[in-house]
Amino acid sequence: MKARRIGDFNVGEIGLGCMNLSHAYGVPPTPEAGQKILLEAFDLGITHFDTAALYGFGRNEELVGPSLKPIRDQIMLASKCGMQGIDGKRVIDNRPETIRKTLEDSLRRLQTEVIDLYYLHRWDKKIPIEDSIGEMSRFVEEGKICALGLSEVSADTLRKAHGVHPIAAVQTEYSLWTRNAEIKMLDACEELGVAFVAFSPLARGFLTDTDLHPEEFAEKDIRRGMPRFQEPNFSRNAALLMEFRAIAEDAGCTAAQLALAWVLNTRPFTHVIPGTTSIAHLKDDVKAGEVELSSDIIDRLEKLINQETISGPRYPAATQAEIDTEEFTA
C-alpha cells in the first residue's frame, strides 16, 4: 500500500475506522469477529487504526488495544477525547481536567503507554480551543501521546489550535456527497502541513455496490436519524447510484474503490479510514489505492454527486449545531 505522512508517522494511505466494530451501524460483530477484522486489516497492509473513547462508550478501545498489542510497534494508533459516553448519553466536554481523565482511561483500555495520534473529537464551544490544546500539548511533553489532531473543526479553529501546538491531522467527514472540507479546510491543511483524514469516505455505506434499505436499518443504527437516509431525500439520492456504479465499471473498479480513490486523488495529503464489519469489504477497500482515475472519470463523478445534487443535510439540526466545520450556503 502507498504511504503518506501524518506528523512523524509514515502510514498506509488507507486506514481502518474502528467505530462500527462496537457501535453506530446496527448490531456490532462479536469481539472475536472484531479482532479477526483488525488483524486481517494489518495483514492486508493497513497500519493506521482509528478509535475513540466515545465508540461503544469505551468498548471499542477495549477491543482495539488488546487485539493490536502484539503488533503495537508496527502501527499508528489514533484515539480521541473531548466526547464520551456518560450514563448512556453522548457528552461533549473539553475541560482540561476531563480530557486528562479521558486520556488516562484510554491508555488503560488500549493497554499502551502512548497514543500515537490523539484528537480532540469535538470542539466544546464553551471552552476556548487554546485551553484544550494547551492541556493536550502537556500530554506530549509527558510522553503520553505523540501527535495532536482535531476533528470536525473549521479552518479558523485549526489555525488557533496550531498556534498553540503543531496539529498533525484534521479528521472530518469527506466524500463525494460531503464536500464541506473543500470550502477552506483542505487549503488550510496544505498551508500548515497538516494531514487530512477523511472519515465516512464511503458516505456511510451509500457509495458502494450494496443496496441500502433504510427501513431495514437496526433500531440503534445512527443513520436512521440522518436526513439523507430519510424520505424523500433517500429516494432522490439513490437515483444517482445507477450512474455512479456505471462510472465505477468504466473505471474498472468497484463502487467502493471508486469512492475511496476519488478522495485519495483530491490532495496528496489526504487519508481515508473506511470502516467495515466484513472481511470481504475490507479486502475490496484496500485495493482502492491501485485505482487510477482519468480526468474524464473525475469530471463525471463530480458532476454527478456534489453538494448541489445530494438531497438533505448530513446531520439533523441538533447535531449540526455541535459541529464547527464550514457549511455551504443555500
Q: How far is CA 249 from the centre of its chain?
A: 26
Residues 96 and 259: their CA atoms lie apart, in Å, by 38
- Give CA separation, 242 vs 59, 95, 183, 253, 300, in Å: 38, 47, 28, 15, 13
- Give CA separation, 232 vs 18, 214, 239, 310, in Å: 31, 12, 11, 12
C-alpha cell at 301: 463523478
C-alpha cell at 233: 431525500
Strands 89-92 and 83-86 come out as antiparallel
**Looking at 55, 118, 119, 174, which residue is catalytic?**
55
Residues 102 and 94: their CA atoms lie apart, in Å, by 10
Residues 320 and 330: their CA atoms lie apart, in Å, by 15
H-helix or E-strand spanning residue 147: strand 145-151
Q: How far is CA 227 from the centre of its chain?
A: 19
Please confirm, yes or no, whether 55 is among the known catalytic residues.
yes
Backbone dihedral angles phi then psi of residue 4, each to the nearest 5 degrees: -140, 160
Backbone dihedral angles phi then psi of residue 294, each to the nearest 5 degrees: -75, 160
C-alpha cell at 241: 447510484
Picking from 198, 190, 287, the residue whose alpha carbon sits closest to that of residue 248 is 287
C-alpha cell at 322: 455541535
Question: Which sequence positions are flagged as catalytic?
Answer: 55
